[in-house]
Structure 1
Amino acid sequence: MTTLVTGATGNTGRHVVRELARRGERVRALTRNPAAAARLFPPEVEVVAGTHTAPETLGAALDGVSRLHVTVTAGLAEVGPELVRRAVAAGVRRITVVWGGAVGPVERAVADSGVEWTRLEPQEFMSNTLTWVDAVRGEGVVREPYDFPSALVHEADIGAVAAVALLDGGHAGRAYNLTGPQSLTPRERLAILARALGRDLAFVPITHRQAVDRLTARGVSRDDAEYVVGWYSASDAASRTVVDTVERVTGRPALTFDQWVDEHAERFREPAVTNPSTPGR
C-alpha cells in the first residue's frame, strides 16, 4: 500500500516521509520542489510535484494511494474539504491530519470522511526557534514580546506519531495532543541554546505591536501576524502542560529541546540561512 504525504518538505511532512521510509513503507512525497525533496529523502521515496492546495490537479498523485497525510497550512481551509473528498473517492482509507491550531473546515472534513482518521494536535513546534537565527548570529540578542512557558514538541515526534497512526490499528477517531517532555519559556530555551553554542545570548522584551510589525515587515499579513503573536500572548493550559502522548503512541520518550538544539546548532553558527517567515505552533 502507498501513503501520500502532502507538504513533504515542510516542518512535519519531511519527518512523516522519513519515518514511513524507515519502516519500509511505500511513500509518495508531494512537494512544490521535487529537486529539494530528492536531496532530503532516500531514493526509494517517490517524489511527485504538486500542492495540496490545488486538489483538482492531484489525480495522478492520488492514484493507488490508500493512506494520506495532510498538514493544515495557510490557503487550505477553502480547498481542503475538496482534497479529502477526492482522496476518499480515489481509494484512500486512512488519513492523518496535523491541525491548524483549531478544528476548522479541513479537520471537520477529515472527521466526516467515512474513513479511518487520526488528528494530531501539536502544541508549539521546536522549529519556531529557527526564527531566532539571524538575531543570534548578528547581535546575540533575541527580542520577543512574551516569556510564557510552552510545551514545545519536536517535529520528528509529530512524524513518528503520524506514521504509527497511518500504519497501525487502534488510532481511528482519535485526537492526539502532542507536546515535548518539558515546558520552557523563551528565556529558558535561549539559555539552552547559549550553552550549546558556547556564547552569551540575551533576551530583550518588546511590545506586542513591535512583534506584529516585525512579522508584517517580512510579508506576513497583519491578520496572520496578529494571530501568531496573539497565540503567544494568550498562553493557556494546553500549550504549557506536558502530556505523554508521544511515548504512549510510539513506545519511546518524547525528544527534548536539548536534542533539537544539538541537531540544529550549526544553523545558528553558519553565515547564510533562509528562515521561516511565520512560526508554527
Structure 2
Amino acid sequence: MTVLVTGSRGRVGSALVRTLHERNFDVRAGSASPDKLAFPTDVETVSLRLDDPSGHAVALDGVSAVFLYCEPAGIEAFIEQAEAGGVEHVVVMSADAVLRPGAEHDPIARGHLLVERALAESSLTTTPLNCGALASNALPWAWSLRARGAVALPYPDSYADPVDERDVAEAAFAVLTDPARRGRSYHLTGPEALSFAEQVRVIATAVGRDIPIERVPPEVWRANKPDFMPGDIADALLTLWAASTEPVPLTHDVEHLVGRPARSFTEWAACHVDTFRAWPQPGRRSS
C-alpha cells in the first residue's frame, strides 16, 4: 500500500509522513514546495498543489490511500483522478465546524463541507477526521508577546478543546492502516476544555514566567488579524469565541484510535517553550 500525504510541510502531514515511514509503509510526500521538505532520503516526494489539477495524475500514480487536506478548489478534479487511478481510501482532515448547527452558512465550515460532500458523492471510501481546535493555534500568541509584551485576546474566557497535531497524525495513521476503521467519521478533541486564559497560564507555567493577558476590543483584534486570514473567517471566529462561554464537549475518539489518552495541552506547551521564551524581559529593550 502506497499512501499519498498531501500538505506534507504542515505539522500534521509531516508527522504522518514520518510515522508511516518509521513503520515501514510506502509513503509519498506531496507538497507545493517539495524542495523544502526534510524527510529521510528514501521518502518519495512529489510536487502537488491541490488547486492545480496538472500535478494530480503524477502524485496519485500507484497510490491506494490518501491523506487529504481540505482544499475545495480543484476537489472535483482530484477525486476524478483518484477514482481513475485506483485509489481506495481517502482520510480527510476536516474541522468540527461542520458538526455545528448552521454549518452551511459558516465560513469556517464551508470549505470543509464542500470537500466532505464531494468525497461522499464519489466512489471512494472516505474517513473524515473532524478536528477540534488545534493546539498550535496558540503559537501566534508568541508574536503578540514579542510585539506587545502580552497576549492580546478579544475573548480570553472563550473555551476550546486543543488537540495536539501529533495525535491527529497518529489517528490518521490508525485509520489509514486498519481497514476496520474506514468509512466513518471521527471527532478529534483534546482531553480537556480550556479557556484561552487557562491555556496562557499553562504556557506560562511551562516557560517559568508570568505571561500577561491584554483584553482587546474585538474590532481591534479584527483590524490587526493576520494578513493571510480572510475577513469572513476573522468575523466567524469572533462570533464563535463570543459564544463559547462554557466548556466545549469532548470525545474519546483520539484514545479509541491510538490506544492511549490524548496528549494534554500541558504536554504541547512543554514542547514549545522556546517559542514563548523569546520575548523581551520587563524593563529591557529587545535588540
Shorter-chain TM band? 0.7 to 0.9
1: distance between equivalents of 2:7 and 2:270? 25
Quick check: which has more Rg, 1 or 2? 2
How far residue 136 of structure 1 moved from its aligned partner, in angstroms, is: 2.5
Question: Residues of 2 paired with 1:17 and 1:32: CA distance?
Answer: 15
Matching residue's letter, 2:268: W
Query: In structure 2, which of residues 152, 157, 179 is the aligned counterpart of residue 169 of structure 1?
Result: 179
Residue aligned with 1:242, SS: coil
- What is residue 116 of structure 1 aligned with on the other side? 125
- 1:45–1:230 distance in 2 versus 1, CA, 3 Å: farther
Distance 1:267 1:192 in 2: 14
**Residue in structure 1 matching 2:84, options 86, 89, 94:** 89
- Structure 1 distance, partners of 2:191, 2:42, is 33
Within the candidate set 195, 198, 201, 1:185 is matched to 195
Give CA-to-partner distance per residue, 1:224-257, whole Å, 9 cap, x none.
32133333233388x8222111111111111111
Which runs of structure 1 show a deviation greater than 6 angstroms over 4 or more consecutive aligned residues? none
Unaligned runs of 5+ in 1: 272-281
TM-score (norm 2): 0.86
Which residue of 2 is the match for residue 274 of structure 1? none
Instruction: Compute the displacement of 1:219 (Å).
Output: 4.6
Tell me the SS of whatever aligns to 1:99.
strand
AA aligned opposite 1:98: M
Structure 2 residue aligned with 1:60: 58
Q: Counterpart amino acid of 2:178?
A: D
Range that drifts further, 190-199 or 13-22: 13-22
Question: What one-letter code is carried by the residue in structure 2 that aligns with 1:83?
Answer: F
Q: Which moved more, 1:105-114 or 1:180-189?
A: 105-114
User: For the residues of structure 2 that align with 1:7 and 1:152, how far apart are their CA atoms?
Assistant: 21
Structure 2 residue 259 is matched with structure 1 residue 251: yes
Contact 2:127 2:182 in 1 (8 A): yes
Aligned-residue offset at 1:150:
1.1
Q: Distance in 1 between matches of 2:81 and 2:245?
A: 36
Following TM superposition, by how much is the alpha carbon of 1:115 offset from its aligned partner in structure 2, in angstroms?
2.5
Report if the CA contact (8 A) 1:70-1:98 is conserved: yes
Aligned length: 264
**CA deviation after TM superposition for structure 1 residue 110, in Å:** 1.6
**Aligned partners of 1:31 and 1:236: how far apart in 2?**
38
Report matched runs for 1:1-281 at 5 Å: 1-37=1-37, 39=38, 41-72=39-70, 76-100=71-95, 101-102=97-98, 104-146=113-155, 147-215=157-225, 218-235=227-244, 240-270=248-278
Q: For the Cα contact (< 8 Å) 2:154–2:217, is it kept in 1?
A: yes
Offset of residue 7 of structure 1: 0.7
User: 2:238 & 2:79 partners in 1: Cα distance?
Assistant: 30
Quote the RMSD (CA, aligned, Å).
Answer: 1.9
Specify whether residues 208 and 51 from structure 1 end up closer, same or farther in structure 2 by C-alpha distance, changes over 3 A only: same
Contact 1:211–1:229 under 8 Å retained in 2: no
Task: Answer whether contact 2:159 2:245 (CA < 8 A) is retained.
Answer: no
CA distances 1:163-191 after superposition (whole Å, capped 9, x unpaired): 11111022222110001111111111111
Say whether the 8 Å CA contact 1:137–1:269 is kept in structure 2. no
By how many angstroms is 1:140 displaced? 3.4
